[in-house]
């Protein structure tokens, strides 16, 4: 123990658990947006957790990172540390979809993703399924969300080095846990 702090646990490969992000960009974006730690944290995560993430003391999960990115109206992939792993679709469109999700404008999300789902490009279709899954989940349509997250995961897995494959998998796991809770109530 150093200065009363427990050493951080590392994963099997000696790395810290969680997603490696550009925490300096996260902090700068929050400050530029004029948001407090509590505003970014909301009710889902603690402001201390946001502080630890933005100072690099800990790494976020896909779920917490997606919440933070949505509140900052920033495409999640921009916070990832690995350069060149972002999407090949128009950044403004992705940012607009993230903003619609953040604002809870789910009908507009559903309308906007229809063109992505019809695209000949697998990556665009994957993004469409990912955002549509988020909209379905927010509307309480867990089974439909599971289907869209699963399709997004499959499409992303076939693409080289797209970080959203893990994000889709994380959302799919979250939706599956909600489905299990729902099923156990009956």
**Hey, which residues does 80 pair with through a beta bridge?**
21
Task: Write down the pLDDT at residue 10.
Answer: 46
Q: Is the pLDDT of residue 153 over 60?
A: yes
Residue 127 to residue 72: CA distance in whole angstroms: 19
**CA 62 to the chain's CA centroid:** 5
Q: What is the mean pLDDT of the chain?
A: 80
In 3D space, the residue among 63, 81, 65 whose CA is nearest the CA of residue 22 turns out to be 81
pTM exceeding the 0.75 threshold for the entire prediction: no
Structural domains in the chain, CATH included, are: 23-79 (1.10.260.40), 91-185 (1.25.40.10)
List strand residue ranges (DSSP E) for 34-132, in order: none
Q: Residue 80 — φ and ψ, nearest 5°?
A: -70, 145
Give the pLDDT confidence of 57-69 residue by residue, as tens digits: 988 887 888 889 8
pLDDT per position as a tens digit, 161-185: 666 777 788 888 888 888 887 777 6
For the segment 81-89, the average pLDDT, to the nearest whole number, is 48
pLDDT surpasses 70 at 140: yes
Least confident of 6-10, 120-124, 150-154, 157-161: 6-10
- 48: CB partners within 8 A, 6+ apart: 37
pLDDT confidence of residue 104: 84
């Amino acid at each position: 123990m150093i200065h009363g702090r427990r050493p951080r646990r590392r994963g099997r490969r000696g790395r810290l658990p969680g997603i490696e992000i550009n925490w300096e960009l996260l902090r700068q974006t929050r400050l530029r947006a004029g948001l407090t730690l509590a505003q970014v944290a909301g009710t889902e995560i603690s402001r201390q957790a946001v502080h630890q993430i933005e100072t690099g003391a800990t790494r976020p999960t896909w779920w917490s990172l997606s919440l933070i990115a949505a509140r900052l109206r920033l495409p999640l992939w921009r916070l990832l540390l690995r350069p060149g792993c972002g999407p090949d679709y128009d950044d403004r469109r992705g940012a607009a979809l993230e903003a619609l999700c953040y604002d809870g404008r789910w009908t507009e999300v559903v309308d906007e993703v229809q063109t992505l789902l019809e695209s000949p490009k697998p990556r665009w279709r994957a993004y469409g399924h990912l955002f549509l899954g988020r909209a379905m989940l927010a509307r309480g349509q867990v089974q439909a969300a599971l289907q869209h997250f699963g399709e997004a995961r499959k499409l992303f897995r076939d693409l080289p080095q797209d970080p959203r494959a893990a994000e889709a998998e994380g959302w799919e796991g979250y939706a599956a846990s909600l489905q299990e809770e729902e099923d156990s109530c009956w």
